[in-house]
Structures are given as C-alpha cells and as structure tokens.
A and B are shown apart, each in its own frame.
Chain A
Amino acid sequence: MNRVPIAVTVNGVRHEAEVESRLLLVDFLREELDLVGVHIGCEHGVCGTCTVLMNGESIRSCITFAVQADGAELTTVESLAQGETLHPLQEAFWEKQGLQCGYCTPGMLLRSLELLRENPQPSADEVREAISSNLCRCTGYQFIIDSVLEAAEQMGA
C-alpha cells in the first residue's frame, strides 16, 4: 500500500505525516494524533459521531480519507475549551444536560458551533433541523436543543 505525504493543521497545530491512501480521516485523527474526541459510531456516514470541521464546515470524518484533508484546517472538540475554561457551548450543554453518555456530544458541539456561526440567534425549529444530521440515542434531542439555545443566548450577550 503506497504511503502519501500530507500536511494538516488541526486545532491550529500543523502536522506532517505519511499515510496509507485508504486511511480514514477519523482513524488518522484518533490513532495518529490521539484526538480521541472524534468518535466512530457507524463508519458509513450516517450517525455523525465522527463530525469535525474542515475549513470551518462540518464533515463526516469516517467517510473522508486522510489524504483528502491535505492542506486543510481541521477543528475538533478538543479545541473548544481554553484550559480550565469551557466554551459557552460546553457550559450550556452542561447546564441544560444536553448529554447523557457523551458519545454523540463532540459531534453535536461542532455542528452546533457551525450553526451558531451561520445563524447566531436560531429558533428552536432551526436548531432542531440543524442537529438532525447527528444521531443521539440517549437524550431524545430536547435538552440538546435547549443547550444550543442557551449557548446562543450566552454568546450573544
């Protein structure tokens, strides 16, 4: 299997690596870069637990090859908190119990981040539609929607 050199910036840090062309981006992030906040739920692009931001846009890293991220800027959940300080989205999810098992949470946080960048004051319906790209098995989505609305309020303040 041929190895391809790539250079990826992840959470502001540049990485150079040689990877198999079939290596999935999610496996690259988890195994090579130890960014285990990106999760694997289905490996066929349905559940969204593998969501990361590529050049600011949410994508599914389980159906993206690492080589396709060459030259891109990636954002994962690990970039949200600043040391001890959580991102307002994280605080809101904590306050409103927008998580139970936590497995869908990194994906939900990044998708919500993208939403709030595009639409800083979304309605509940808009939040509901935006997060419908990501499955959650625990919460029934209600408290996730509450969390995103809370974050929007805090971030707009």
Chain B
Amino acid sequence: MLAADPQDTSVLAGGQSLIPMMNFRVALPGNLVDINFLDELDYIRLDDGWLAIGARVRQSALERSDLAAREAPLLTEALQFVAHPPVRHRGTVVGSIAHADPAAELPAVLRALDGEVVVRGELGERRVPASELFQGPLTTTVSPGEMITEVRVPARSPAGGAVVEISRRVSDFAIAGAAVSLWGDGAQPAAIALFGVGPIPVRAQAAEALLSDRYGAPSTEVGAAAMSEVSPSGDIHGSAEYRRSVAGVCVERALARARKGGS
C-alpha cells in the first residue's frame, strides 16, 4: 500500500506526532496506512541476543515490559520522559524513532545502545543501524514506500545507565538531554548519546573516548568534553549557548547517576 503512492502516503501508528501536524495542516498526506490493526507487529521478544520490538508496540506497553526492563533498561528509563501517559498509551516505540524529532529520547537511546531497525519495502527487508538511520530533523533514511517494522537493541544488562534531560516543563521536548549506558571498564566502557543538540541524536565521541582512557574520569570533565563537541542551534526555548551548556550538564548528571548504579 505504501508503495502504491509513496510520496503522498504516511504510516499511521500512534498518530501522536502525525495527527497534530495534520491538524495544523502542516502534514497533508493524501493517504494513511493504518497499522494499528496489524496484530502481528505487536511483540516484544528476544531474538538471537537482541530485544526486538514490533511496530505496533505502544510506548506504555514497553514501559510495563519486564523483559525490556531486564534486557534494555535504558529504554525503559527513557520512556518516562516521553510526553505523558495518555500519549504513551497510543504512541509507539517505532513511531517515535521513525518520526526522528531531534529532541526525542528514543532515537538517542537507540544510538546509545547501538540498535538497529528493520525496514520493509516492496523490494524486501533491510537492517539499518542507528548510526545510519537519522539524517536530519524529522528525516530518516527510510524512503517513501518503506516502513520500519521493528526496532532492535542488543539484549545486554548494563553496569549502570541513566537518562537526564532539561526541558521547560516536565515532560516537554528536551532542550538538551543525555542517555548514558555504562558497560564496565573494558573496550567500550560507555555509550553517551545526546539529543536536542543538533539535527540528529549524536554519540558524544570525545566524552566516550575520555572514559575509555580513564573510566573513573570525573563526571564534570566528561560533561565538559561532551559540551565541546556539539554546536546546537537556538530557538525560543533555549539559545545555542544555553543548549550547549546544559548538554554538558546532562551528560555530567546522567553519568553521575549511572555510576551510582542507576537504572
């Protein structure tokens, strides 16, 4: 169906991002493909060392999932920041990732966990790692005529993890945020993903490298390292300088919390 008229067709899952845009008449798809009745896409399961989440899974369902809490606790932690429960009752995990809002939590968590998505189109299925998925604000490498059917993260219990975000009101879009996973002192001890600080979520590579070098480096130093590698743009909710500043604070605080065995 998506392939029939790809430029004028959108996928309707939770609709929590799409329908407001349609109400504003900013998004005007001629066709909607409603996947809400596709029960076969409603699963949370372990699949060969990965936690696999189908496109129909509601955010609140993942929040309640014991499996997810065990195998990908950073996802569970991030969900409490996503809007409000009534929105999470409808919004889907895959939907938030496909929507790719630069200030959204789940795309950043996907980056932090080195996850991937399964994209299905007329020509078949492909896997896209998180590092290649996000192209720009509200833009992914999923083409018109394709849709994400599943999101996957390696099933792995971290040594600690935390999500910290700064927003105007509790539950608003992040002005800046950090999702941190600590894997223990080893080859890749930490994953730090930032959101709200640029057109797409990014891994704070300099900060991660610092921790690789010195796993016990002070959180403030790591935060400063993260700050130095982002150049966000500003808007009415936060100037560019403000976003950069608080991005560093988010990393510092998320790391501190993760070190206390958070999540």
Contacts and interface: CB of A to CB of B under 8 A. Distances in A.
Contact of B89 (A21, A43, A58, A68): A58
Contacts of A43: 20, 23
B171 A111 contact: no
- Which of B19, B23, B60 is packed against the most chain A CB atoms within 10 Å? B19
Given A65-B15, A68-B15, A133 B86 contact: yes
Contacts of A36: none
A141 to B, nearest CB: 13
Interface in A15-72: 21-22, 24, 43-45, 48, 51, 54, 57-60, 62-65, 67-68
B213 interface: no
Given A58-B89, A63-B19, A132-B170, A68 B84 contact: no
Given A21-B32, A132-B84, A133-B84, A45 B19 contact: yes
A54 B60 CA distance: 14
A119 to B, nearest CB: 12
A130 interface: yes
10 contacts: A44-B24, A48-B84, A57-B89, A58-B85, A62-B23, A63-B15, A64-B90, A68-B15, A111-B86, A132-B170
Contacts of A48: 84, 86
Contacts of A130: 85
Range of interface residues on A (Cβ < 8 Å): 20 to 34
> What 4 A-B pairs come out closest when comparing CB atoms?
A133-B84, A44-B20, A63-B19, A57-B89
B32 A59 contact: no
B233 interface: no
B23 to A, nearest CB: 5
Given A48-B86, A65-B12, A133-B87, 13 more contacts: A24-B23, A44-B24, A45-B16, A45-B87, A48-B84, A59-B86, A59-B90, A60-B86, A63-B15, A63-B23, A68-B34, A132-B171, A133-B85
Contact of B20 (A54, A58, A63, A65): A63
